[in-house]
Structure 1
Amino acid sequence: MSDHVGTGPAVLATAGLTWRIGNATIVDGVSLDLRAGEFLGVIGPNGAGKTSLFNLISGLRAATAGTVELLGHDVTRLAPHRRARRGLGRTFQASSVFGSLSVRENARLAAQAQHGGSLHAWRSTKGFRAVAERADECLAAVGLSGRGEAVAGTLAHGEKRKLEIALLLAGSPRVMLLDEPMAGVAAEDVPDLVEVIRGLTGHIGGAVLMVEHHMEVILGLADRLAVMHHGALLACDTPDVVMANPVVQEAYLGEEL
């Protein structure tokens, strides 16, 4: 868990967020708030609507009803790239790095996108230096300083996850959405990745919302747990309270807690 649960204004808030396809309701009126410094875990059985919720928050899907507020601004109708510019970063279940480029080249591209413009020959060396420094800072934050020259496609899956997080950090997000970062990561690499994720709220000065099926991982990281079931929010409280909730336990019957 974080050293403290965020107590300031909400950096991310959803109200009645809903997504319907025909007669099927995929996300059903979810209202959540996330505060600076907080780590909020999202759990639920397979098909509960967790990734769909992330898709609505990040703008990949248009909400049927409800709102999304980011840093006090309504972003419900904004495109994904405009939400990213306002401070929202997201990873996906599938790896999303440039496999043919080096680790450092990946990080520099992400830093360049944040810095603005292109690094052509007529640009000042100050711009090059700022991008390079930012890239190196982000790699250091995830423990990849010594892997800069490695080809990204040759990294172990756990290292690819770290690189994806470094690319997000380069965009200076205030809110970070992590969608099952442990998926496909070898068991021996999980503790190291957990420690990288544990430090994220400090690096971004904001908050983290994470979907994860590894209960031991999420229980060790989260200040609060939000439980989804059939697209709806079943409970949201501290991990101890949530895991003792008989309604949550019933929803998980036949699933691994």
Structure 2
Amino acid sequence: MLRTQGLTWRVGEVAIVDGVDIALAPGEFLGVIGPNGAGKTSLFNLVSGLRKPTSGTVWLGEDDVTALPPHRRARRGLGRTFQSSSVFGSLSVRENVRLAVQAHQGGSLSLWRRASSFAAVASAADQALETVGLGNRGEALAGTLAHGEKRKLEIALLLAGEPTVLLLDEPMAGVSAEDVPELVAVIRGLTRGAEATGRSVLMVEHHMDVILDLADRIAVMHHGALLACDTPDAVMAHRGVQEAYLGEGL
């Protein structure tokens, strides 16, 4: 679904991302961890097209997308969330998602457009809201949502684009402890749900309990390079990971 080879981004002589090779299988959940400054978000910026790599290649399926801008990667099935929440606070929850659906489907809100097309947009928006557990919050103003609910809304906006590969950049950031379990359940459903066949997730997260709960494999970054990429048990037992990230006493 997603593959990088030798992906590198240098600023002067410093390698922010250094020769990273990852491969994401259909339906797989790959977690990305590492100390602050390890290059995790920079890796996401390269994969999503916000940054141009110094060298290396990014593939979506069989397509080399290294030179494509973010919006063209999105059209090919790559969706991304960011660390900071970004929704239209003055619009309702449902209106936010309807705009995202329409942006994905194309066309304008013309008076000459078939009425059935509006129904299709509304239906897709409602389905995305149900998927993230906001089906009963459609009429609420997005700006009034609790932070955990805004995170769910951002995932609904992502789903509106019908991505096959989802990049989630620290979705638990700022979420209260009591809201974490619900958000974890939503994220688990992105690959495990009945409608998620083939959908894959690459997620950066600092909450180790969340990563261990969700991930099929964990990639560990350190000083911009990939230190390890294996099952959660294997990564937890990796001496280099313990020293670099989890601590000597683990």
TM-score, reference length from structure 2: 0.96
Q: Which residue of 1 is the match for residue 161 of structure 2?
A: 171
- Please give the alpha-carbon distance, in whole angstroms, between the structure 1 residues aligned to 2:169 and 2:105: 26
> In the alignment, is residue 195 of structure 1 matched against residue 188 of structure 2?
no
- Please give the alpha-carbon distance, in whole angstroms, between the structure 1 residues aligned to 2:155 and 2:62: 24
The secondary structure found in structure 1 opposite 2:35 is coil
Unpaired runs of 5+ residues, structure 1, are 1-10
What do the CA deviations read for 1:42-99 (whole angstroms, capped 9, x no partner)? Answer: 0001100000000000000000000000021000000000000000000000001111
Measure how far apart 1:137 and its partner are.
0.3
- Please give the alpha-carbon distance, in whole angstroms, between the structure 2 residues aligned to 1:123 and 1:243: 55
The secondary structure found in structure 1 opposite 2:71 is helix
Q: Which residue of 1 is the match for residue 208 of structure 2?
A: 215
Amino acid at match of 1:72: E
Which of 1, 8, 15 is matched with 1:18 structurally?
8
Aligned CA-pair RMSD: 1.3
Measure how far apart 1:126 and its partner are.
1.2
Unpaired runs of 5+ residues, structure 2, are none
Q: For 1:1-257, what aligned pairs fall within 5 Å after superposition?
A: 11-201=1-191, 202=193, 203-205=195-197, 206-252=199-245
Amino acid at match of 1:134: A
**Alpha-carbon spacing, 1:255–1:164, altered in 2? closer, same or farther (3 Å):** farther
Measure how far apart 1:253 and its partner are.
5.5
Structure 1 outlier segments of 4+, above 6 Å: none
- Please give the alpha-carbon distance, in whole angstroms, between the structure 2 residues aligned to 1:125 and 1:156: 34
- Please give the alpha-carbon distance, in whole angstroms, between the structure 1 residues aligned to 2:196 and 2:93: 21
CA contact under 8 A between 1:45 and 1:255: conserved in structure 2? no
Measure how far apart 1:255 and its partner are.
9.4
Measure how far apart 1:120 and its partner are.
1.9
What do the CA deviations read for 1:190-232 (whole angstroms, capped 9, x no partner)? Answer: 0000000000024443100000000000100000000000000
TM-score, reference length from structure 1: 0.94
